[in-house]
Amino acid sequence: MPEIPETFHDLFEKPTIAHVVTMLPDGRPHNTPVWVDYDADDDRLLVNTERHRRKAKNVAEDPRVAASMVDPDNPYRYLSVTGEVEETTTEGAREHIDELAQRYMDQEYPNPIQSERVILRIRPDEVFKRELS
């Protein structure tokens, strides 16, 4: 199984925006910019969302996803992953969104929770990377 190269782990330590594609019930793609994290021990991309949001509903029906991100410091360096949401969990999701808000906004998560926070744990099946200077 492909892994996220260690030389790209820094993308998950700075405010890198990922674009995550899920599949709508009618088969059309749905693309959303998101905050992204990485569990290096388990080699899983992490996307934190609310259960009522479209991407969470989509992966409940069809777990296939794609995610791409461009290094905010170098637009010629990027990572693209296709895979599946292997697990949707509430465990630690509220704390996780606050951690992400610190990275991306330098504050606690400011928005009210409308339903329930969940973490989508994405297993990479294909990893594409590019690094140009």
Mean pLDDT on 21-48: 97
Query: Please, what is the average pLDDT of the chain?
Result: 95
Above pLDDT 90, what percent of the chain? Answer: 89
Report pLDDT for 114: 81
Question: What are the φ and ψ backbone dihedral angles of 34, each rounded to 5 degrees?
Answer: -140, 160
- Closest-CA residue to 47 (of 75, 69, 62): 69
Note the pLDDT of residue 133. 65
**Residue with more model confidence, 132 or 58:** 58
CATH of 6-131, one of 3.30.465.10, 2.30.30.280, 2.60.120.260, 2.30.110.10: 2.30.110.10
Residue count of the chain, please give it. 133
Q: What gap in Å lies between CA 18 and CA 36, rounded to an integer?
A: 6
Token couple for 96:
């996780």
